[in-house]
Structure formats: structure tokens, C-alpha cells
């Protein structure tokens, strides 16, 4: 459970940082009369960042907690005796690169949208969409390859976790693809790119986060995360 | 020392967050059924939660009938008894308390108390309710499935939860239960995002965090906790569903059942316990923090006095929320653990008593020399304080490893848990319903019925759970279908069980009176007017009551003061609404 505790400590740090700016030590009973107890600090009434972005940020924190808990369970289960790690198919490397390309494409779409280049933005969105679908199809091929090599779901906890966690990540990508295709459709309808800018930014943000999670998961399955934990443990003891 | 600006208008900062574009319903369906109005969603959430709660209440009657009169009711066999226990616990904790506090009161009060028109993502908010309803229906489907609902206990510990010896283990019961939990969590996440982001972004101008009523602080903190804690239950449910349906061994060790080796092997039941309680302990405070917040507002309003130590109350809520994430293993003392961990978790558990005690002191000091009106909300708030202190004191017993181990499997735990997490939050829920019903419907609840309801519930709850502590100390084990003739069940203990059962039936009957009152007062209640309690918070200042979709008419309110300006010296009335500017410069020198 230490992984989730470290994650929560990070969240707690963010919350503390945010709260530190909210004048939690003010004495509201003495400060009646003025609107916002500091009129020159309108940030006390909410942030100027778009509400949808804050919503997505909070959602990503929840998704982060979800995957961190899976990773926590993975580490705890790994410590038991019946664990045989599974091989990493070469295709997984290709998938990782495809997902990176997808993320880069969306970042590009976002930058172009900010510059009001409608054509380039659309190209970026379509590229992101295609590579995103490519990643999912690639993951299915990885599953097929592993199954045909005899690594089935229920044989070993390592297999079970691999299918469970990649499946969960895939579902999140799938949900993202739905949002991304809606955004792409709107990008082809709406004339000024400014109208879809926010949606494109949200998609890019989500995609980068999913890429980050995937990289952590990849490191976990390949066993590097293990080595890293060992090093940390040695440093501590 | 306080600057009162010469002209209020100068200091109104431009709205930083743009006004919400309201969804405009076009038909009866989108106005009342598939509504995106937080207030309608709140009522839908509350009615569903009360309906399923009624089922859980009946289940508790059936359990008590078995314990009080073992063998008299032939339809309550051992299997059914365990199914009743399981469903009663799960429904009360998750589908009633969590849903009612966050989905019900959260939806109704957050936009109104903050001066917003609605939640920031109304569509997701609507989906949240419908997923919740679906989760409830899947849960109820368990009663009609072959083999009935799961009887694994509300903690659903593997391996027994998925074995054939447990009711529903190899039938539909456990599958439906886990599916329902997964749906609930997805639905809750949609709602929870709304509650958090609305507090962050939807506040009216002037409503700084430190001017928010404590109700909102409680609901806000509890929602943040729930968003981070429910994923643990989600993970545990998904993994157990895999174990049950796909033959994996996340939690299932090698087991021989009926002389047959199961295909599972090597899994860790302890892993499930860690995941479950990593959700389960914060869950206690997910229910308690909104209750803390609401009770603070009830006491302040009905004692006509500002809350004592507002800042301390806010900090205590946040600190309790943070601490509750590092105490979960105190539910696992009897599972065995490294003594150092036991020491750590006992210490963190007892430390939580500090901010909690601060809150209790502050409530009492708020009442001290207040102008206490013994209205029904106030009665329930007082009932809450007493009950919570009682339940908290037995918590100090159980937080210690050496005391917990012998008491853990006895009725003492049942009594403690029901006092602190059953009766106490329910008291607040009742108080809150009596308090806000006039705003929701425009009419007061009937006072006589309300008083009967309070006294029967309050005294009855004590008559149920005080004897239960004694039974626990005597060694009467919990979870047992029947005790028969045994050293822990002398005739005196059995008589006590009969008494508890009779009290449980009486308290349950009082709830029927409450439900009747809810519907009767809709038509026959006294007209309430906009602000019957003469309260300061924004929801009482709406131009019309009940507030329409959009809440505020043309202009959003602007907030000039905190939520607790009661009995301010020199003010013309004993309360000053939050949105009232300072025209006559109420003589501040009295205070400062």
C-alpha cells in the first residue's frame, strides 16, 4: 500500500499548496462589508482556468488513484510465491511508440488550434485519432500473441494482472477516443478553430496523462519498476 | 481595524468565472425525470436513498426478530439471516448514508449555499443519479435472483464470499453485489466531480472559502475523500469479480471445498482487506464530515449564535479528512499484523480523536449561553452530539489493539459502530430534513409528529444500543444466527435480546410516522415563507420558495459576510443574511 500512500502524499501536497493561497487563517467574522475579503485578490472566488479543465484535472487525480491502487495490489501480490513474470512481447514497444505519436499529434493539434490554423489542427486531430485506435488494436494483438503463447488469464497472477490492468487502461483510452472523435467531428464542422480549442486542449491533456500512466505500467510489467523500488529500499535501509 | 469601503460597488470584482449557461428543459420529462437541475436530482437521490433505506430497515427488523425470538419465525433460516445482515449493512452505509449526504444534501445545498445557479456539469450530474438508480436496481435484483443476495457480510471478505458455503457465493448474489458497487462508484465519481468543481469554481462573488458555511466544508472535504477512496473499492470489486467469474487468483488461496480442489491458488485474502479498508475507513468520515458540517449550521442557527471557533472547525474538518487515510488497518487487528504496524495504526487512530474532540467542544461552546430554540432540527442536533460522543468513547476502546482483539467479534463492535456511524449521522439527516424541508417544499413539517419521531428515535436508539454494549462485554458474539444454551447467553442476556428487539420494532415504527409526515406535510403543512428559521445562509435568501430552476432570478447574489452573523450587537435583527451589505455600518466596535 506504500505506492498509494506516496500518491496521496502528492495529492495532499497539491491541496496544501492550493489551500495556502486561500487565506485559511483569515478571520471572517471581522471582515464583513467588503466583497471578497481582499478585493484586489479575485482569485479567492475561483480560478481563471476554464472550469472544464479543472474538472478534468480532478478526474485525472481520481484515475491516477485508481491505477495507483492497481499498482499497489500488483506489488503486494507479486511478493507471494506463485508469481512468474511474463515476457514482454516486442509488439508492446511498438504500441508504446504509437501512443507517444498519438500524444505528440494531439499536442501539435493543440498548438495549431491556439494559432488558429484550422487545417493543421484537423490534421493533428485525425492523426491522434488514428494512432489512438492503432494503439488499441496493437494491444489486442499483444493479448492474442500472449494467449497463443500459452499465457492465459487465470494461469498465474502475473498474467491476470497484465490483462486486468492493460484492459483497464484500454477502456480509459476507449473512452478518450469517444471524446476525441466528437471533438474531431466538431473541428470539421465549426469554422473558427477557437470554438473547439478548449475541447482540443482537454483531449491533449487527457492523452498525455494516459501516456504517462502507460509508461509507468510498461515499466511495471517489464520489471524496471521493481528494480527502482529495490534501489529505493536499499537507499532507505 | 476593519476597512469598510465607502461605496460597496467599488469593491465588487468582476466575475472571474463566467455565468453558467443553463440547460432549458422543454418537456415534462426533462423537467422532472431526466432533469439537469441539481435540486431535482437531489430530490431524486434522496427519495431513492430513503426507499432503499426502508428495505434495509425492514431487514434489521427481521434480524432482530431472529435474535430476540430464535426459532419462532421459520422463514428466517441461517442463510437468510446472513443475507439480511449483508444487505442491511451495505445498503445503510453506501446506498443510504453516502448517497443521501453527498447525492442528496450535496446536490441541493452546494449550488444554493454558494450562490450558484446550478452545478458546473449538469449533464454528468444527471447521469450520476441514473447510474445510482441502476446500481440500486441491480442490488435489489439480488433478492430475486436464484440463490438470493450475497450473505458474505457487508465486508465481503474472500475467500468465503465466493464459495458455495456462503449464500450467493456460487450463485448470482455476489456477482450482482459487486456489479452494483462498480456502477455506484462510476456514478458517484460523476457526481463527485461536480460537487468539488462547483465549490472551486461556482461560488458567488464575495463567497471566499472562509465564508462558506461549514455544511459546504463538510460536504466538500468528504467528496474529495470519497473520490480518492472509492477507487480502492472499485479495484477490490473488479478483482473479486475476476476471481469469481474468470477463475483468477487475486484473492483466492488454494482451497479444498467439499473434498474437491478448487482451481484457485496462491491468492491473498489480506490484500482484499487492505483494499477494502483503504476505502472503508475514509468511508466512515465520508459520512461523518457532512454530518459535522450540517450539525454546526443547525446549532448555530437554532441557538442564534455564531459558531464558536469557525477557523478551527474548518481546519479540523480538513485534518480529520487527511488523517482518516492512514488508519485503515485498525479494522484488521484480528487479521494479524506486525506489532509495529499495530502500534502505528493505533496511534493514528487515537490522534483523530483530537480534531474530533475540538469539534465537539466547539459545538458545546456554541450552545453555551446561546438563545437555544428547541426546534426539531435543534433536538436532533443535540441528539447527535450526545450520541456521537458516546460512540466516540467506545471508539477509544476499540482503537487499542489489546482491547480490540477480545472485543472484536462481539456485539460491542456492533453497538459502537451503530452509535457512531448509524444513529449519529441518521440524527443529522433527520435534523437536516426538518431544517430544509420548508425550503424544498415551501411548507413546514408537522411539529407534533416531529417531536414524537425525535423522542422515540432518540430514546429508542439508546435502549437498543446501550444494552448491546453490555452483551458485547459479556462475550455475546456478533454474526451468529443463534446462540442457544451457552455461557455467553445466560437467560438474562436472552431477555435483554428480547427487549432490544421490541425497541428496534418501536424505533422502526417511528420512522413510518416520519415518512407519513413527509407526505402529509406536502399538502397540509404550515406555509413556511422564505426564511422560517431566520437563517443567514444564502439558500434562505432566494427570491422565491421553493427556488426555481436557476435559483436566483435575474441577478446572482453577492456575498458580504460570513455565514454566522447571528445576534450581532447593534444590528436591528438577530441575524444578518450573507448577501446583505453594510448600509448602516453596524457598530463593529462592539466586536473588535
pLDDT tens sequence across B488-530? 788 888 899 999 999 999 999 999 999 999 999 999 999 998 8
Using the beta-carbon criterion (under 8 Å), do A32 and B588 form an inter-chain contact? Answer: yes
Using the beta-carbon criterion (under 8 Å), do B248 and A157 form an inter-chain contact? Answer: yes
Tell me, yes or no, if B320 comes closer than 8 A to chain A by beta carbon: no
Interface A–B counts its CB contacts (< 8 A) at 203
Domain membership of residue A146 (yes or no) is yes
- Rounded to the nearest angstrom, the minimum Cα separation between A12 and chain B is 8
Using the beta-carbon criterion (under 8 Å), do B235 and A66 form an inter-chain contact? Answer: yes
**Distance between CA atoms of residues B243 and B268, nearest Å:** 12
**Distance between CA atoms of residues B396 and B398, nearest Å:** 6
Q: How large a percentage of chain B has pLDDT more than 90?
A: 72
* pLDDT beyond 70 at B592: no
Residues of chain A with pLDDT under 50: 36-40
Mean pLDDT computed over B448-473: 95
Domain membership of residue A44 (yes or no) is no
**Distance between CA atoms of residues B204 and B208, nearest Å:** 9
A76 chain-B contacts, CB cut-off 8 A: 268, 271, 274
- Rounded to the nearest angstrom, the minimum Cα separation between B536 and chain A is 13
Residues 6+ positions from B553 with CB-CB distance below 8 Å: B543, B544
* Closest residue on chain A to B226 (Cα): A62
Using the beta-carbon criterion (under 8 Å), do B246 and A44 form an inter-chain contact? Answer: no
B225-256 pLDDT, tens digit each: 999 999 999 999 999 999 999 999 999 999 88
pLDDT of residue B583: 56
Q: How large a percentage of chain B has pLDDT more than 70?
A: 94
What CATH number has the domain bearing residue A134?
1.20.120.80
SS3 (DSSP) at B566: strand
SS3 (DSSP) at B37: coil
* pLDDT beyond 50 at B10: no
* pLDDT beyond 80 at B126: yes
Using the beta-carbon criterion (under 8 Å), do B193 and A59 form an inter-chain contact? Answer: yes
- Comparing CB atoms, the residue among A4, A30, A34 nearest residue B11 is A34
* Closest residue on chain B to A29 (Cα): B562
Mean pLDDT computed over B170-194: 96
Q: Which three cell numbers stand for residue B33?
A: 425525470
pLDDT of residue B6: 39
- Comparing CB atoms, the residue among B10, B234, B576 nearest residue A66 is B234
Residues 6+ positions from B242 with CB-CB distance below 8 Å: A153, A160, A164, B248, B250
Residue B260 backbone phi and psi in degrees, to 5: -120, 130
pLDDT of residue B21: 61
Tell me, yes or no, if B9 comes closer than 8 A to chain A by beta carbon: no
The DSSP bridge partners found for residue B256 are B261
B531-585 pLDDT, tens digit each: 999 999 999 999 998 999 888 888 888 888 899 999 988 888 889 999 888 755 5
pLDDT of residue B485: 77
User: How many domains are there within chain A?
Assistant: 1
Show which of residues 81-120 on chain B sit within 8 Å of chain A, judged by CB atoms: 120
B12 chain-A contacts, CB cut-off 8 A: 35
Using the beta-carbon criterion (under 8 Å), do B246 and A43 form an inter-chain contact? Answer: no
What is the b/e burial string over A77-107, where b = at least 16 CB atoms within 10 angstroms of the residue's CB?
A: beeeeeeeebeebeebeebbebbebbbbbbb
* pLDDT beyond 90 at B12: no
Interhelix angle A51-78/B214-246, nearest 10 degrees: 40
What's the predicted TM-score (pTM) here?
Answer: 0.93
- Rounded to the nearest angstrom, the minimum Cα separation between A70 and chain B is 7
A19 chain-B contacts, CB cut-off 8 A: 209, 318
Domain membership of residue A55 (yes or no) is no
* Closest residue on chain A to B241 (Cα): A164
Q: By residue range, what is the domain housing residue A141?
A: 86-236
3-state secondary structure A28-89: HHHCCCCCCCCCCCHHHHCCCCCHHHHHHHHHHHHHHHHHHHHHHHHHHHHCCCCCCCCCCC
Strands, E assignment, B458-525: none
- Rounded to the nearest angstrom, the minimum Cα separation between B156 and chain A is 17
**Alpha-helical regions (H) of B155-308:** 173-201, 214-246, 269-302
Using the beta-carbon criterion (under 8 Å), do B560 and A15 form an inter-chain contact? Answer: no
Say if residue B18 is exposed, middle or buried (CB neighbours under 10 Å; 0-12, 13-18, 19+).
Answer: exposed
* Cis bond upstream, residue B546 (ω within 30): yes
Using the beta-carbon criterion (under 8 Å), do A160 and B592 form an inter-chain contact? Answer: no
Using the beta-carbon criterion (under 8 Å), do A51 and B17 form an inter-chain contact? Answer: yes
Using the beta-carbon criterion (under 8 Å), do B205 and A157 form an inter-chain contact? Answer: no
The pLDDT-based confidence of B212 (bands split at 50, 70, 90) is: very high
The pLDDT-based confidence of B435 (bands split at 50, 70, 90) is: very high
**Distance between CA atoms of residues A138 and A145, nearest Å:** 10
pLDDT of residue B140: 96
B370-387 pLDDT, tens digit each: 999 999 999 999 999 999
The domain ranges of chain B are 535-592
Among A23-37, B15-29, B194-208, B253-267, the minimum mean pLDDT is found in: B15-29
The DSSP bridge partners found for residue B527 are B443
CB A64 within 8 A of CB A213: yes
Mean pLDDT computed over B273-288: 94
Say if residue B589 is exposed, middle or buried (CB neighbours under 10 Å; 0-12, 13-18, 19+).
Answer: exposed
pLDDT of residue A7: 94
Domain membership of residue A152 (yes or no) is yes
* pLDDT beyond 50 at B2: no
CB A6 within 8 A of CB A71: no
B319-361 pLDDT, tens digit each: 999 999 999 988 888 888 888 888 899 999 999 999 999 999 9
A4 chain-B contacts, CB cut-off 8 A: 232, 278
Domain membership of residue A162 (yes or no) is yes
Using the beta-carbon criterion (under 8 Å), do A54 and B12 form an inter-chain contact? Answer: no
For residue B95, the 8-state DSSP code is: I
Tell me, yes or no, if B16 comes closer than 8 A to chain A by beta carbon: yes
The pLDDT-based confidence of B257 (bands split at 50, 70, 90) is: confident
Interface test with A, best of B20, B205, B210 (most A CBs within 10 A): B210
pLDDT of residue A37: 45
Instruction: Give which of B576, B565, B571, B574 is closest to B586, Cα–Cα.
Output: B571
The pLDDT-based confidence of B4 (bands split at 50, 70, 90) is: very low
* Closest residue on chain A to B2 (Cα): A31
The pLDDT-based confidence of B292 (bands split at 50, 70, 90) is: very high
Domain membership of residue A28 (yes or no) is no
CB B206 within 8 A of CB A41: no
pLDDT of residue B9: 41
Using the beta-carbon criterion (under 8 Å), do A45 and B203 form an inter-chain contact? Answer: yes
Amino acid at each position: 500500500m506504500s505506492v498509494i500512500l506516496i500518491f496521496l502524499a502528492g495529492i495532499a501536497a497539491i491541496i496544501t499548496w492550493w489551500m495556502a493561497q486561500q487565506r485559511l487563517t483569515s478571520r471572517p467574522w471581522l471582515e464583513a462589508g467588503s466583497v471578497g475579503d481582499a478585493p484586489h485578490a479575485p482569485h479567492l472566488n475561483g480560478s481563471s482556468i476554464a472550469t472544464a479543465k479543472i474538472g478534468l484535472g480532478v478526474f485525472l487525480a481520481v484515475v491516477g488513484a485508481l491505477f495507483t491502487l492497481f499498482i499497489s495490489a500488483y506489488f503486494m501480490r507479486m511478493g507471494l510465491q506463485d508469481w512468474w513474470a511474463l515476457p514482454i512481447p516486442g509488439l508492446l514497444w511498438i504500441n508504446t511508440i504509437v501512443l507517444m505519436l498519438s500524444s505528440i499529434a494531439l499536442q501539435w493539434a493543440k498548438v495549431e488550434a491556439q494559432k488558429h490554423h484550422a487545417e493543421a489542427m484537423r490534421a493533428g486531430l485525425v492523426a491522434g485519432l488514428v494512432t489512438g485506435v492503432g494503439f488499441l488494436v496493437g494491444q489486442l494483438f499483444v493479448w492474442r500473441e500472449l494467449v497463443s503463447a500459452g499465457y492465459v488469464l487465470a494461469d498465474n497472477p502475473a498474467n491476470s494482472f497484465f490483462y486486468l490492468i492493460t484492459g483497464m487502461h484500454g477502456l480509459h483510452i476507449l473512452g478518450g477516443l469517444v471524446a476525441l472523435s466528437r471533438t474531431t467531428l466538431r473541428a470539421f464542422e465549426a469554422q473558427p478553430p477557437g470554438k473547439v480549442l478548449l475541447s482540443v486542449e482537454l483531449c491533449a491533456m487527457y492523452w498525455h496523462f494516459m501516456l504517462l500512466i502507460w509508461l509507468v505500467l510498461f515499466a511495471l510489467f517489464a520489471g524496471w519498476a521493481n528494480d527502482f523500488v529495490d534501489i529505493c529500499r536499499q537507499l532507505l535501509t | 481595524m476593519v476597512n469598510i469601503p465607502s461605496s460597496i460597488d467599488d469593491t465588487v470584482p468582476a466575475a472571474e468565472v463566467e455565468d453558467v449557461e443553463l440547460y432549458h428543459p422543454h418537456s415534462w420529462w426533462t423537467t422532472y425525470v431526466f432533469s439537469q437541475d441539481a435540486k431535482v436530482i437531489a430530490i431524486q437521490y434522496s427519495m431513492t436513498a430513503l426507499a432503499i433505506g426502508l428495505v434495509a430497515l425492514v431487514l434489521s427488523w427481521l434480524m432482530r426478530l431472529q435474535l430476540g425470538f430464535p426459532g419462532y419465525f421459520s422463514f428466517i433460516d441461517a442463510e437468510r439471516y446472513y443475507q439480511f445482515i449483508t444487505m442491511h449493512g451495505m445498503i445503510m452505509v453506501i446506498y443510504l448514508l453516502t448517497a443521501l449526504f453527498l447525492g442528496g444534501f450535496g446536490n441541493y445545498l452546494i449550488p444554493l449555499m454558494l450562490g450558484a445557479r446550478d452545478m458546473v456539469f449538469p449533464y454528468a450530474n444527471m447521469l450520476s443519479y441514473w447510474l445510482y438508480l441502476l446500481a440500486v436496481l441491480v442490488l435489489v435484483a439480488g433478492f430475486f435472483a436464484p440463490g438470493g443476495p450475497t450473505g458474505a457480510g457487508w465486508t465481503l471478505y474472500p475467500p468465503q464470499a465466493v464459495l458455495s458455503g456462503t449464500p450467493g457465493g456460487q450463485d448470482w448474489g455476489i456477482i450482482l453485489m459487486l456489479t452494483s458497487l462498480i456502477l455506484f462508484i462510476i456514478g458517484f465519481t460523476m457526481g463527485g466531480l461536480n460537487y468539488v468543481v462547483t465549490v472551486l469554481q461556482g461560488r458567488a462573488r464575495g463567497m471566499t472559502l472562509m465564508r462558506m458555511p461549514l455544511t459546504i466544508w463538510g460536504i466538500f472535504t468528504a467528496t474529495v475523500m470519497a473520490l480518492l477512496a472509492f477507487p480502492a473499492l472499485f479495484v477490490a470489486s473488479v478483482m473479486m469479480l475476476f476471481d469469481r467469474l474468470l477463475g483468477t487468483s487475486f484473492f483466492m488461496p488454494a482451497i479444498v471445498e467439499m473434498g474437491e480442489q478448487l482451481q484457485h491458488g496462491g491468492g491473498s485474502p489480506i490484500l482484499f482487506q487492505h483494499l477494502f479498508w483503504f476505502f472503508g475507513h475514509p468511508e466512515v468520515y465520508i459520512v461523518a464530515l457532512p454530518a459535522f458540517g450540517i450539525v454546526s449550521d443547525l446549532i448555530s442557527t437554532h441557538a442564534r449564535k455564531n459558531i464558536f471557533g469557525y477557523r478551527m472547525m474548518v481546519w479540523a474538518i480538513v485534518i480529520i479528512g487527511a488523517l482518516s487515510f492512514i488508519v485503515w488497518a485498525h479494522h484488521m487487528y484480528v487479521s494479524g499484523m506486525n506489532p509495529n504496524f499495530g502500534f502505528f495504526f493505533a496511534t493514528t487512530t487515537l490522534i483523530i480523536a483530537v480534531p474530533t474532540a475540538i469539534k465537539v467542544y466547539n459545538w458545546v461552546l456554541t450552545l453555551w449561553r446561546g438563545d437555544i430554540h428547541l426546534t426539531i432540527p435543534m433536538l436532533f442536533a443535540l441528539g447527535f452530539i450526545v450520541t456521537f460522543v458516546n460512540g466516540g468513547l467506545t471508539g477509544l476502546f476499540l482503537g487499542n489493539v489489546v482491547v480490540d482483539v477480545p472485543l472484536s467479534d462481539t456485539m460491542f463492535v456492533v453497538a459502537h459502530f451503530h452509535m457512531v456511524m448509524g444513529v449519529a449521522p441518521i440524527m443529522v439527516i433527520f435534523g437536516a430534513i426538518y431544517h430544509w424541508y420548508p425550503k424544498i417544499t415551501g411548507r413546514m413539517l408537522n411539529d407534533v409528529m416531529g417531536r414524537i419521531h425525535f423522542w422515540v428515535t432518540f430514546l429508542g436508539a439508546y435502549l437498543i444500543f446501550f444494552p448491546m454494549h453490555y452483551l458485547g462485554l459479556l462475550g455475546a458474539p456478533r454474526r451468529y444466527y443463534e446462540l442457544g444454551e451457552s455461557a455467553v447467553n445466560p437467560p438474562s442476556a436472552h431477555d435483554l435480546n428480547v427487549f432490544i428487539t421490541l425497541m428496534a420494532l418501536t424505533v422502526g415504527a417511528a420512522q413510518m410516522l416520519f415518512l407519513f409526515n413527509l407526505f402529509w406535510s406536502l399538502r397540509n403543512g404550515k406555509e413556511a415563507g422564505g426564511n422560517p428559521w431566520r437563517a443567514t445562509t444564502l439558500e434562505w435568501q432566494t427570491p422565491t420558495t421553493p427556488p426555481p430552476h436557476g435559483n436566483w432570478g435575474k441577478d446572482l447574489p453577492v456575498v458580504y459576510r460570513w455565514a454566522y452573523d447571528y445576534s450581532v450587537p447593534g444590528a436591528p435583527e438577530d441575524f444578518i443574511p450573507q448577501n446583505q451589505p453594510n448600509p448602516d455600518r453596524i457598530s463593529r466596535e462592539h466586536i473588535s
